[in-house]
Structure 1
């Protein structure tokens, strides 16, 4: 399925170019914050359903930023259209997660090398077995080098992309934790599947906003200020 027109029911750029590299925060207001804080000559390319999207430059390189909403269905819809309709080649999710491991703390940065999931999104591909959702190594390697240069410690490993925020099974997270899952979030596996199927690059960079096991949380005000390290790493991938 492809669209002939350079717009979709969900993204209407009105002639504004969408860059080959795009940052994808879940919250569209975080996209606006990134633009106002970091980008030059930014132009808005989307406002449909208030899912704000912008294209500008960062250190002379063209880059776009757009919100994706919450959950795999929303992320998968927007990332599919960005890839197949608008030609995006590098998709970097920047979001929040709930830590599961004892050695992790609030505001830690996580690179999702892999994304396990309780979703059945993969069924559409009719694969004859289980599929492992993994990041683009090129983006992951560059992100790790950038973090090292900035002196920012990061966790690299497997995350959980869950369809369930309020789980009736109170033992679920402990089971994932025992398998070494670093943290839980709700979008990455869908992004990685879309990217793999299309042959493009994807990476998720997360900041720990709460610790599920220790029942620790950050405030919305703290998150806006503390998440800039994650944003600055992602911007260097353009």
Structure 2
């Protein structure tokens, strides 16, 4: 990167020099996996804290893949600065726990919206403001999932929570299951709120790494099993397929000031 390139203040992303479509993941090692094992002609363009960004091609289409870390506060920085850099479509590809026994380990859930229990977005807009995926991104994710016959996938609402381990207040897992919420993770609702405020498109698909009610019963969480690993690879391919489908149709980011 030359000295004349203007970069974002925290993630050091080059402004105005990135593809419009991006896949974001939590783990920097997962971003590296995508870049080295799935994409072609990839190169690291920024590595600051948990934010590692790679530029590369997927099926001939130039994309960016970037890690956002765990949790909403840090992830919001990644999302905001990608938008500042010129990205107009962001797809989160993450892992989640399932509330529905039909979607066990290795299944894929495409999130049309997210319950806002993230602990971050209420500082941006009132809780009555919905966290919704862009319909074009949801459609592209569904279309991509359909091309993989081996994928068991569902489409619906998930919940985003700000903590991973429960405390004395317990959890709302049974409530969400009764409410037909499919899965639980930690970043999607923040992405959806920021995307709505800034005028870009966003979506999220998650690989299921545990069935919540079995995990509560056994008190075991084993996200590193082969079935989960294979599900993650399929999910990443779906996210990359969807992101590449949407290239050339991205809206202009509005970068609205909500202060």
* TM-score, normalised by the number of residues in structure 1: 0.90
Alignment of 1:70-149 (within 5 A): 70-83=70-83, 85-127=84-126, 130-149=128-147
Q: Evaluate the alpha carbon distance shift between residue 8 and residue 103 of structure 1 in structure 2; reply closer, same or farther with a 3 A threshold.
A: same
> In the alignment, what sits opposite 2:68?
68
> In the alignment, what sits opposite 1:53?
53
SS of 2:19's equivalent in the other structure is: coil
Quote the Cα distance in structure 1 between the aligned partners of 2:200 and 2:130.
16
Quote the Cα distance in structure 1 between the aligned partners of 2:122 and 2:14.
34
Report how far residue 51 of structure 1 moved.
2.4
> In the alignment, what sits opposite 2:209?
209
Across the two proteins, how many residue pairs are aligned to each other? 232
Mean Cα deviation higher: 165-174 or 24-33 = 165-174
Report the RMSD for the aligned CA atoms in angstroms.
2.0
> In the alignment, what sits opposite 1:235?
240
* TM-score, normalised by the number of residues in structure 2: 0.83
Quote the Cα distance in structure 1 between the aligned partners of 2:85 and 2:188.
20
The 8 Å contact of residues 18 and 45 in structure 1, kept in 2 or not, is answered as no
Q: Evaluate the alpha carbon distance shift between residue 221 and residue 34 of structure 1 in structure 2; reply closer, same or farther with a 3 A threshold.
A: farther
| Per-residue Cα deviation, 1:142-172 (whole angstroms, up to 9, x for no partner) | 1111211222331111101001212223352
The 8 Å contact of residues 40 and 56 in structure 2, kept in 1 or not, is answered as yes
The 8 Å contact of residues 23 and 64 in structure 1, kept in 2 or not, is answered as yes
Q: Evaluate the alpha carbon distance shift between residue 171 and residue 67 of structure 1 in structure 2; reply closer, same or farther with a 3 A threshold.
A: closer
The 8 Å contact of residues 92 and 202 in structure 1, kept in 2 or not, is answered as yes
| 5+ residue gaps, structure 1 | none
| 5+ residue gaps, structure 2 | 245-259
The 8 Å contact of residues 103 and 152 in structure 2, kept in 1 or not, is answered as no
